[in-house]
């Protein structure tokens, strides 16, 4: 099977680097496209086996493109998902359809970043784009993405994807691919680089910036058949059900137990081989094959059952099931009044502790050190806890739990965290779903309003979409807190929350009755496992394609530590990982990630994150390194951002840059 490195010339003269995987059969062939900013020729060269499988097993031409200004492509990478990117990719789709070996039908697919841009290009409706598969992608860049959640800034994520994209975007084109002039292109990249994360931190409320690239609410803009793949342990699970329900095109939803990692290697599993499922979908819509896709029920969901928590959970209990559509006709809302919970009073008072949340540290964990949730009892010691018996029959929920609650705050800016848990008979508390609200955003993410201290407000808080079967004899638990740190930045000042239990309730989407058919979905088993290198193994947050790929030595093993400085009255979470990969032909890549998030246990306004991301690429022509270091510190009024970048060639300093910003907190 030939692999061809080629150039796609765009209308403005910029050239994009593409690797083409072409079948050995006689053309024409339909084309499958994936486009990413994560460097196809080195840092994500491990993705190639999947492209070869799509080519060999499916008889498709497959194209992997470096986006503008990334990898070996020309131009500058000015931001994630800019309008120029959608224009570029529409031209790429047309270019692929015009090749002499192409059938003229193009499909797009990808996980996270490339799932996002598959949706975004589908919105543009290029006539050659016949179908897409969006894996772990979102419909709303403000409410369900790596930047904000519930109107609050994400914290721990700052040391991951937002930081390492600074170091990655400062890397040069690959010399053997780009050819002469790679150093001048490299210089332009570094000298004109503007870190994306600065804009993300300044854009604190919803508005035109976040609406661009967001499918929600204009789902009818997509006209091509769409397959959605999601995971219950992935950060983008909310968008899967919303998007599926709203699309008016042929559609399929495959919703598994997975984290932000390949369905073949995810922790947790069960794991499956996703390639045959993608080929079945593309065969139907790029070739018109009568392969039974139209006769299959459109939703395949993994129903999770009570499973004890573990940071490196291998497999969650449960089973696969077909469903007819969404929302399910079989869902009945069950109301659990807070004043009916065991041992509660009319009014519950909570002195907000800033470090509550460490038992569930990252919203979108993919691979270690970003693992799964711990036993929640550590956080519950500093939360308001409400509890109800499950009963002798057990209880299944599927969808979005919702909390209706009356709250009073002692401060004008306050947060409310809600966690739904499954309590085992021995007291173990497993996280089922979480929700969060910056209460100043209670009416609008675009127009926040301060609270009046002491004045009650009614809050409707939707928790994350979930599937869970509570076993007989277990207990349903609701934890309320004023922080979800280090997942989110804590509130600006000490505060007290008062919960009025009378009239407040938790509403659960309870499944009743029998499934529409007795048959269960069946998939080919995974070819690999969580300990083996995998094309998506590096993903951690939003398309984060460069995390740990398996430690090369003891020093590179992932690290995840929770530290409490008793006398310093500070809690810290420390994360670290690294890897080294030999690409053959004298080319290697080394990656290192380190980060710490800290918060005062007395003053939530005093919080910080510090991180370091570093890459070294070696070719026969040169050895280059980039290192980005980030410090973000806060008080009640502002964030102070310091970002530094160092670039070297053959061990000698080449360029250094620094960015400093002071950003006022806007009701955050």
pLDDT in tens, 336-391: 999 999 866 667 999 999 999 999 878 899 889 999 999 999 999 999 999 999 98
Considering the domain architecture, whether residues 350 and 418 belong to the same structural domain is answered as yes
Question: For the segment 66-119, what is each residue's pLDDT rounded down to a tens digit?
Answer: 999 999 999 999 999 999 999 999 999 999 999 999 999 999 999 999 999 999
In degrees to the nearest 10, what's the CA dihedral of 221, 299, 113, 490? 100
Domain of residue 157 covers: 152-204+548-668
pLDDT band, residue 527 (cuts 50/70/90): confident
407 and 461 both lie in a single domain:
yes
Distance CA 591, CA 390 (A): 47
Q: How many degrees, rounded to 5, is the angle at CA 75 between CA 70 and CA 588?
A: 30
Q: Are residues 374 and 507 in the same domain?
A: yes
My answer on whether 449 and 502 are in the same domain is: yes
Q: What is the bridge-based pairing of β-strands 29-36 and 102-111?
A: parallel
Q: What is the chain's mean pLDDT, rounded?
A: 94
- Which of 461, 487, 511 delimits the end of a domain? 511
Tell me, yes or no, whether 134 lies in a domain. no
350 and 498 co-located in one domain? yes
Q: What is the CATH number of the domain that holds 384?
A: 2.60.120.260
pLDDT band at residue 169 under the 50/70/90 scheme:
very high
Kindly provide the b/e burial profile for residues 144-164, where b requires at least 16 CB atoms within 10 angstroms of the residue's own CB: bbbbbbbbbbbbbbbbbbbbb
Domain assignment present for residue 199? The answer is yes
Domain membership of residue 108 (yes or no) is no
Please report how many Cα atoms fall inside a 13 Å half-sphere around the Cα of residue 11, on the Cβ side: 9
Mean pLDDT of 306-315: 96
Does one domain contain both 349 and 486?
Answer: yes
Backbone φ and ψ for 482, nearest 5 degrees, come out as -100, 5
Has residue 536 got a pLDDT over 60? no
Q: What is the pLDDT of residues 28-43, one digit of tens each?
A: 999 999 999 999 999 9
Half-sphere exposure of 478 (CA within 13 A, CB side): 32
pLDDT score recorded for residue 539: 36
Among 511, 540, 564, residue at a domain's last position: 511
Q: Check the CA dihedral 278-304-517-325 and report its sign.
A: negative
The answer to whether residues 366 and 505 belong to one domain is yes
Q: Note whether 622 and 487 are same-domain residues.
A: no
- With a cut of 70, say whether residue 324 has pLDDT above it: yes
What is the pairing mode between strands 457-462 and 331-337?
A: unpaired
| Three-state DSSP class for residue 265 | coil
The total number of residues written for the chain in this structure: 668
Q: What distance, in Å, lies between the first and last C-alpha atoms of the chain?
A: 54
CA 268/CA 315 separation, integer angstroms: 5
Q: Give the 3-state secondary structure of residue 281.
A: helix
Q: How many domains does the chain have?
A: 2
* Contact of 380 with 456, CB cutoff 8 Å: no
Interhelix angle 48-58/275-282, nearest 10 degrees = 50
């Amino acid at each position: 099977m030939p692999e061809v490195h080629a150039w796609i010339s765009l209308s403005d003269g910029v050239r994009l680097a593409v690797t083409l995987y072409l079948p050995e059969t006689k053309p024409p062939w339909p084309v499958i496209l994936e486009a990413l900013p994560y460097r196809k020729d080195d840092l994500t060269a491990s993705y190639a086996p999947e492209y070869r499988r799509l080519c060999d097993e499916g008889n498709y031409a497959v194209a992997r493109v470096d986006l503008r200004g990334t990898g070996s492509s020309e131009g500058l990478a000015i931001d994630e998902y800019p309008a120029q990117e959608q224009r570029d990719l529409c031209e790429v789709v047309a270019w692929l359809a015009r090749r002499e070996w192409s059938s003229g039908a193009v499909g797009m697919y990808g996980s996270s970043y490339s799932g996002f841009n598959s949706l975004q290009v589908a919105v543009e409706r290029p006539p050659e784009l016949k179908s897409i598969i969006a894996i772990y992608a979102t419909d709303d860049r403000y409410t369900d993405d790596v930047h904000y959640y519930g109107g609050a800034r994400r914290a721990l994520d700052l040391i991951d994807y937002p930081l390492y994209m600074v170091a990655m975007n400062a890397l040069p084109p690959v010399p053997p691919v780009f050819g002469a002039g790679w150093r001048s292109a490299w210089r332009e990249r570094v000298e004109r680089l503007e870190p994306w994360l600065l804009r993300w931190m300044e854009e604190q409320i919803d508005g035109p910036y976040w609406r661009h690239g967001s499918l929600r609410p204009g789902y009818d803009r997509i006209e091509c058949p769409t397959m959605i793949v999601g995971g219950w342990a992935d950060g983008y699970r909310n968008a899967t059900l919303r998007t599926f329900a709203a699309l008016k095109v042929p559609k399929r939803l495959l919703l598994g137990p997975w984290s932000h990692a390949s369905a073949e290697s995810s922790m947790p599993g069960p794991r499956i081989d996703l390639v045959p499922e993608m080929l079945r979908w593309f065969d139907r819509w790029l070739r018109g094959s009568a392969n039974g896709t139209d006769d299959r029920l459109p939703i395949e969901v993994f129903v999770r059952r009570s499973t004890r928590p573990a940071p490196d959970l291998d497999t969650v209990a449960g089973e696969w099931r077909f469903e007819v559509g969404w929302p399910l006709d079989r869902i009945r809302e069950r109301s659990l009044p807070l004043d009916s919970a065991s041992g509660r009073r009319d009014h519950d008072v909570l002195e907000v502790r800033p470090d509550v949340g460490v038992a569930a540290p990252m919203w979108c964990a993919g691979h270690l050190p970003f693992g799964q949730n711990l036993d929640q009892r550590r956080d519950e010691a500093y939360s308001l806890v409400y509890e109800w018996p499950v009963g002798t029959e057990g209880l299944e929920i599927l969808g979005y739990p919702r909390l209706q609650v009356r709250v009073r705050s002692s401060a004008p800016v306050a947060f409310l965290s809600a966690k739904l848990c499954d309590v085992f008979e021995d007291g173990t508390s497993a996280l089922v779903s979480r929700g969060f609200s910056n209460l100043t955003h209670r009416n609008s993410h675009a127009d926040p309003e301060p609270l009046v201290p002491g004045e009650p407000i009614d809050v409707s808080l939707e928790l994350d979409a979930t599937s869970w079967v509570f076993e007989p004899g277990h207990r349903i638990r609701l934890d309320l807190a004023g922080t979800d740190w280090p997942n989110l930045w804590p509130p600006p000042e000490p505060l007290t929350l008062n919960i009025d239990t009378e009239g407040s309730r938790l509403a659960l989407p309870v499944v009743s009755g029998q499934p529409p058919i007795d048959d269960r979905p069946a998939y080919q088993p995974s070819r690999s496992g969580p300990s083996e290198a995998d094309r998506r193994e590096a993903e951690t947050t939003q398309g984060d394609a460069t995390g740990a790929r398996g430690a090369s030595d003891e020093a590179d093993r992932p690290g995840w530590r929770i530290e409490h400085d008793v006398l310093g009255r500070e809690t810290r979470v420390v994360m670290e990982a690294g890897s080294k990969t030999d690409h053959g032909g004298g080319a290697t890549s080394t990656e290192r990630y380190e980060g710490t998030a800290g918060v005062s246990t007395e003053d939530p306004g005093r919080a910080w994150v510090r991180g370091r991301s570093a890459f070294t690429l070696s070719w026969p022509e040169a050895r280059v390194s980039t290192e980005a270091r980030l410090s973000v510190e806060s008080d009640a009024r502002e964030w102070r951002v310091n970002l530094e970048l160092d670039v070297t060639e053959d061990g000698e300093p080449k360029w250094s840059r620094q960015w400093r910003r002071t950003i006022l907190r806007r009701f955050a």
